[in-house]
Amino acid sequence: MDTQLPVDGDQGLAVAITGSGGSGAVTAGLILLAALARAGYYGLLTRSAGPQIRGGESAAMIRFADRPVACMGDRFDIFVALDWNNVSRFVDEIPLDAGSLILADPAGGPVPEPIARSGARVLEVPFQVRARLLPEGRVNMVALGALGAAIGLPLAALEAGVEQTLGGKAKAASLVETSIAGVRLGYGPGGDSDAPLPPRVLDRWNMSGNEAAGLGALRGGLGFVAAYPITPATEILEWLAPRLERLGGALLQAEDELASVNMIIGSSFGGVPSLTATSGPGLSLMMEGLGLAVASETPVVVVDVQRGGPSTGIPTKSEQSDLNIAVYGLHGDAPHLVLAPLDIRDCVFTLHWAMRLAEHLQTVAICLSDQTLGQSRALCDPPTPFTGDLRRATAQAPEPDAGLPYRRYAASPDGVSPMAIPGTPGCMYTADGLEHGPGGTPSAAAVDHITQLAKRADKLTGFDFGPHWGEVFPAEPGTRPATEHCIVTWGSAAGACREAAEQLTRTGHPTRVVALRLIAPLQRQALGAAIAGAASVLVVEQNHGAQLFHYLHAEQALPREARSLARPGPLPLRPGTIVAAVLHPATQEV
Amino acid sequence: MDAATATPTPRAKEYKSGLNPVWCPGCGHFAVLSAITKALAYLQLPKERVAIVSGIGCSSRVPAYLDVYGFHGIHGRALPLASGLKAARPDLTVLVAGGDGDGFSIGGNHFLHACRRNMNLTYIVMDNEVYGMTKGQASPTTQPDWVHSKLTPHGTGVPRFQPAAIALAAGATFIARGFSGDPNGLTQLLVEAIQHPGFAFVQALSPCQTFRPEQKEWKDRVHPCREGTTDNHAEAARLLQLDDGMALGLLYAQHLPVWQPKPGAPTSLGQIEAEFLQ
């Protein structure tokens, strides 16, 4: 190997492994991620695939560094082509330039023109010839070895990555053996093959956003899930099903989303903290049910792993375009919570918090994750636990001869009334989607409607959500950084915004990021304080309609001169795009 | 067992909440409500251990009239809501109630899947072959040539939904038909339905005096199911194909595995979190 790229510990290195379906690009990426973890790096792996169930092109994109990786960058350092079938389709998703390196097999033909146009150097490695030296040798393992050598990863780390990733599979022993042999052949003699491994980092986690959302819900006391499969949310359910039942809970695969949302309303009525996971089309189907949960004050949590919409849209690609339906999609006046995790690790915290908030406030919490968070994996620090004590207030059996009937929806100072759980003697009541009086009895009286509307709104607006409503970067305890620019964003866009702000600050344009975790009810005062003092405000989000921008304006939470950068999926928001939008306002007006 | 003449504790009327029903005078649902209370009383079920879930429609108002736990949900979704409750709280006796529009039209898909899931639920459909709450439109069980709705002035022209036959085809393990004009027989069926392990479907013919006054004739048309109860699926299918829709009694009952969540080998959250450590 005559080429090795130095790893910039701060900015890290970005690599992409691509190939046609079945070539094992994603498997190689997952092994590389595990190997990077073993070598002590932080990292992020995103994947891209065509819509085919099997076959079609796929790519694993990995960025790693000595510090947590917030997003994919503006360019890739290394492009590994296991073959060139349809791989040109990734030309927009994997930007290369003259500083990039392409690792490809000359037997696969010349580098396709759309990729060659980048001017990247090409390093030819005979993947196929080397793989054929082994019985059942695989091209992807040979390529992984060559890539590992190019980035200076110790061979032992790659071997550990293979063990960890493939060790649990069927026929693991022979699979691991063959794969390691392939990695060694690809690694060749030139790499740093004898470099010792650094000590294992004991508290480094490797997880996807969908797994993290499931874990957060478990931390939040989840006991029941009903759901209908939908891309890209299904992995939450697949991860939860075998684990929830081992913790005494259960998961039910429903006949559709109309059923799943009503099932969790039923289980929650039964006293069990409950959740469903879906994507945009499923959320649309659930809306009537969520109105019932609001009216009957039954706590439920919905995770919407957003994808390109509307309708079937682009099911395998990410977009932040369900904010409007999450905030405004319910009929009637139906106050509820809308939250959004800010990165993969934060999926644990946000779901944990959402479960506790829903239980405590007896309301609906919609959590807006997306495909980028859900189906990517991070090497990260252990997630921060939510430490507050929020729980459902339950009614106890009354003293004999107390004489007062149980009033499920009685007014209370904080708008929350103790909820009797079936099985509690003396507190029988009917939960109702009809407007009702304090006892739950159906009522069309103006006084009851006004009282109950106010109760359901006040319990949310009057609640002290504390410091978790959002994150401000850079965080400076006590004082807000006096920056020139302020980027306001939400959900998964926070990562690219943070990196953009760092670039801007480094180049003489101090910039802060305000990332909203709690979107509704909007914490206007806290947001206002976080924005205050900035000469320019840019609202950044991954959708076409500038949904957050318009929402914040509707809530009168933005200065008049605030601007919008709204870019739809499927391409990720890149730091460079955001930097340009901050510095060149004229080209970015909505 | 004679449910109607038993002397249970608490007494049947103590299962009523005391709220006056919104139903029209002469509505069949009054008798169904009473039959539910008599069945609960006969089985001596503690009030707080019973939950009744409904959708939308005249009959779906029933939870508020009972002094048990209740959930009056949205149109067509009573079965999923009840299924979630039962899955999470298998210790409760869960009844589901509603009408023919709620159960067979907007909720039709849930009806199929509740039958095949065979959870331990009792589903009472008060069938009056009309949408009463919206003032008299054709339901799935209305005759195709019924022309008395402005919405379908020429009749629906669509063959009727066959609740019992469809329940059987979908996998229900208990299929019965009662009549509000035969409260003792209906009570008896409800007792057996609640005791049945699995999904018990009770079609309660319950005339609508306001929009289907001709249903007064039902009392002359109903008759006991001459063939009795069968546990043979093929035989039941044959009987229900020949059914005139007026045969009363337990038509089919079969014991098949009841769906309930299965617990896994116990673990801890800490052990699960350790999976993520590198």
Q: Give per-residue pLDDT as tens, A127-178.
A: 999 999 999 899 999 999 999 999 999 999 999 999 999 998 777 888 999 9
- What interface predicted TM-score (ipTM) does this complex get? 0.96
Average pLDDT of the residues in A359-372: 98
Pair of tokens at residue A435: 């407007």
Cβ–Cβ gap A206/B278 under 8 Å: yes
pTM score above 0.90: yes
Chain centroid to CA B228: how far? 20
Band (pLDDT 50/70/90 cuts) for residue B1 is: very low
Chain B positions in Cβ-Cβ contact with residue A297 (cut-off 8 Å) = none
Pick the CATH number of A206-380 from 3.20.20.70, 2.170.190.11, 3.30.70.100, 3.40.50.970: 3.40.50.970
Pick the CATH number of A466-588 from 3.40.190.10, 3.40.50.920, 3.30.470.10, 3.20.20.80: 3.40.50.920
Cβ–Cβ gap A252/B19 under 8 Å: no
Give the integer Cα–Cα distance in Å for A549 and A588. 13
Q: Structurally, how many domains does chain B consist of?
A: 1
Partner-chain residue, chosen from A218, A430, A434, that has the shortest CB–CB distance to B269: A218
Chain A positions in Cβ-Cβ contact with residue B73 (cut-off 8 Å) = 262, 265, 292, 296, 433
Give the model's pLDDT for residue A480.
54
The CATH number assigned to the domain holding B151 equals: 3.40.50.970
Average pLDDT of the residues in A36-52: 90
Picking from A550, A461, A577, A468, the residue whose alpha carbon sits closest to that of residue A515 is: A468
Q: How far is A264 from chain B (nearest CA, A)?
A: 6
Partner-chain residue, chosen from B84, B87, B92, that has the shortest CB–CB distance to A262: B84
Give the model's pLDDT for residue A228.
98
Q: Do domains A13-187 and A466-588 have the same CATH topology?
A: no
Partner-chain residue, chosen from A245, A256, A422, that has the shortest CB–CB distance to B262: A245
Cβ–Cβ gap A201/B267 under 8 Å: no
Give the integer Cα–Cα distance in Å for A575 and A318. 17
Burial A527-552 (b: 16+ CB within 10 A, else e): beebbeebebbbbbbbbeebbbbbbb
- Enumerate residues 55 to 94 of chain A having a beta carbon within 8 A of any beta carbon in chain B: none
Which residue range forms the structural domain that includes residue B158?
3-274
pLDDT tens string A501-557: 999 999 999 999 999 999 999 999 999 999 999 999 999 999 999 999 999 999 999
Cβ–Cβ gap A267/B85 under 8 Å: yes
- Enumerate residues 22 to 51 of chain A having a beta carbon within 8 A of any beta carbon in chain B: 34, 37-38
Cβ–Cβ gap A260/B80 under 8 Å: yes
Residue B113 or A89, more confident: B113
Give the integer Cα–Cα distance in Å for B263 and A250. 8
Give the model's pLDDT for residue A52.
67
Give the integer Cα–Cα distance in Å for A98 and A113. 14
> Chain B contact for A441, CB < 8 A?
yes
Give the integer Cα–Cα distance in Å for A432 and B111. 21
Q: Which CATH architecture has domain A13-187?
A: 3-Layer(aba) Sandwich (3.40)
Band (pLDDT 50/70/90 cuts) for residue A51 is: low
Contact A16/A26 with Cβ under 8 angstroms? no
Domains of chain A by residue range: 13-187, 206-380, 466-588
Partner-chain residue, chosen from B262, B264, B278, that has the shortest CB–CB distance to A379: B278
Give the integer Cα–Cα distance in Å for A155 and A186. 10
Cβ–Cβ gap A247/B267 under 8 Å: yes
Share of chain A above pLDDT 70, in %: 95
> Chain B contact for A224, CB < 8 A?
yes
pLDDT at B229 over 80: yes
Band (pLDDT 50/70/90 cuts) for residue A401 is: confident
How confident is the prediction for chain A on average, in pLDDT? 93
Chain A positions in Cβ-Cβ contact with residue B74 (cut-off 8 Å) = 262, 288-289, 291-292, 433
Element (H, E) at A252: strand A250-253
